[in-house]
Amino acid sequence: MAPTRKARDGLLARVNFPLYAVEMLTSRHVLVAGGGGSSKTGVANGFEIYEIYHNGTHFCAEEVVRHETGANVVMNCAIRNESRRSYLLAGQESHCQMYFVNPRIITGNEDDATTVDKTPRAATERINENGVRKRGSNATHSGVEDLRNGISPNNKKKKEDLNANLKRIRFDIKAADSVQTDFLTEEPLQRVVRISPDGRLMATGGTDGHLRVWTFPQMVQTEDFNAHTKEIDDIDFSPDSKFIVTISKDAQCFIWDIHNSKQLHKLNWDTPEGAKYLFKRCRYGTIEAQSDKYRLFTITNPLGKVGKQRGFLQQWDSTLGKLRVAIAIDESLASLAVRDDGRFVAIGTMFSGSVSIYIAFSLQRVLHIPNAHSMFVTGLEFLPITNAEGPPISCDAEAAVLSISVDNKVCIHSLQHRHTIPAWVAVLIIIAMLFGVFILCSYLGI
């Protein structure tokens, strides 16, 4: 078990609305979304994009653009990057709203205020002790480039000269099509949306229990599975885009064959003392260096148990529908993420707001951050290392995961490289020890 560690990274950014969804937009830009709902509470709805960088000691973030969605809270989202634009699918009540997110290069001192939606906020800029940069609508210099080019804040002349040639990425956001994805009679709500890895399909699930498959990006419905008797909590595509896993509040987890339009497996396991457990989240992950093979991960929580809760992190053989490994966690679980190379898994807890990272193949815990948030963790996302949209962020961490919560915070937690010795050094040490034991025994006449 990994030792409890005081967070070296912690708070990355703070927004003024509760957060429910997090997705990487590029290899270094993250989008977080949420809101206060349709009631007139004064809490905004929408999403924000941050650029993440490492300043040599810790991760920092700069706000790039903010987009408000009026009365519609964004409860879930999915992102697909193409060569010249990104597609953002945002769950807003019973509908799925598509946005075009177009990158734009800003050069020199060009005013980039047009890339930021005009929303009421302070026109000042400040950096707190955690490196969180808050930009006002008049801010034109990011500060990220200073760190990358080794410019001291006191070297004003050099800074001004270089600023004329700086190139920065900004994003223009435009609303596109919207389709209804949930048809419950009372209070329909899209709970989850996913885009297939090959970019040809999207899938949605909501309160009516139906799994719906659509063409992407046209958003034309092709399949409608009457999958569950209660609302769907989560879905995910397999890395080869052939299968979809769904979980629901009816305590069922199914794997569906998309092309044959049929149920492939129902996941079952022997619960502790025969208690009833509900699947909470599901994610596929590739097996390192084997892109054609993959694992399925789920988290489960006990239903209606009074007293101390005990959730489980599970790894499945999705081909056979059999449980491989399961570990107990002394708390109910809220969120799950798998890194893009399939090497690490992260979980977030329900009550303590803690975050942990595990090795995917063995489910050995290698990092634990207690009380990362003051409330339950609503979303997790690893910084990617295989993203085709650009190189990964240079840092001294073996892995780093972003976490969000309804406490309005975006946090980051990094796993430092574990120091190991080469195999040949270990062999030499063993030989030296055996030789030393032999000499000692000879000296003692044994």
Domain spans in the chain, listed from the N-terminal domain onward: 10-430
What is the token pair recorded at 402? Answer: 């972003």
Give 37's DSSP letter.
Answer: -
What is the token pair recorded at 200? Answer: 């040809």
Please tell me the pTM assigned to this model. 0.82
Percent of the chain with pLDDT over 90: 63
What is the token pair recorded at 146? Answer: 């200073």
Residue type at 420? T
Q: How do residues 216-269 score in pLDDT, each as one tens digit?
A: 999 999 999 999 999 999 999 999 999 999 999 999 999 999 999 899 999 999
Q: Is the domain defined by 10-430 classed in CATH 2.130.10.10? A: yes
Residue 420: pLDDT band (50, 70, 90) is low
Q: Which of 234-248, 264-278, 395-409, 416-430 has the lowest mean pLDDT?
A: 416-430
Phi-psi region of 70 (alpha: psi -120 to 50; beta: other; left: phi over 0): left
Dihedral Cα 37, 38, 39, 45, nearest 10 deg: 50
Using the predicted structure, report yes or no on whether residue 63 has a pLDDT greater than 90. yes
What does pLDDT average to over the chain? 84
d(CA 144, CA 134): 12
- Bridge partners of 81? 86
d(CA 118, CA 298): 40
Q: How do residues 71-86 score in pLDDT, each as one tens digit?
A: 999 999 999 998 788 9
Taking CA atoms, 303 is separated from 255, 271, 276, 390, 445, in Å, by 22, 11, 6, 43, 67
The span from the first CA to the last CA of the chain, in angstroms, equals 40
Given a contact cutoff of 8 angstroms between Cβ atoms, the answer to whether 334 and 350 are in contact is yes
Using the predicted structure, report yes or no on whether residue 374 has a pLDDT greater than 60. yes
Q: Which tops the pLDDT comparison, 358 or 120?
A: 358
